[in-house]
């Protein structure tokens, strides 16, 4: 809720942004990286997704604000 509220107040419509997210829980071995890469390609988003040693998944996405959010 707080993050959604912050997004409503800050909307640079044509700015390139970079977003870093760490996912935890059951995210390894379920096709998460392949799905994220497919969605990113469809929306012209650059970045990477990688498995971490602690079982989390690190995602970084960069592109136009409206594509990333």
Q: Which residue of the set 7, 18, 20, 33 is catalytic?
A: 33
Residues 6 or more apart from 40 whose CB is under 8 A from it? 46, 47, 61
Clarify whether 51 is annotated catalytic: yes
Task: Take residue 64 and report the two structure tokens written for it.
Answer: 């136009």
In this structure, what token pair is assigned to residue 47?
A: 């970045």
Measured distance CA(57)–CA(68) in Å, rounded: 18
Q: Show which residues are catalytic.
A: 33, 51
């Amino acid at each position: 809720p707080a993050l959604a509220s912050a997004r409503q107040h800050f909307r640079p419509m044509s700015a390139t942004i970079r977003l870093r997210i760490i996912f935890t829980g059951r995210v390894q071995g379920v096709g998460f990286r392949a799905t994220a890469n497919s969605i990113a390609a469809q929306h012209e988003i650059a970045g990477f997704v990688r498995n971490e040693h602690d079982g989390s998944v690190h995602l970084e996405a960069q592109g136009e604000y409206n594509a990333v959010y």
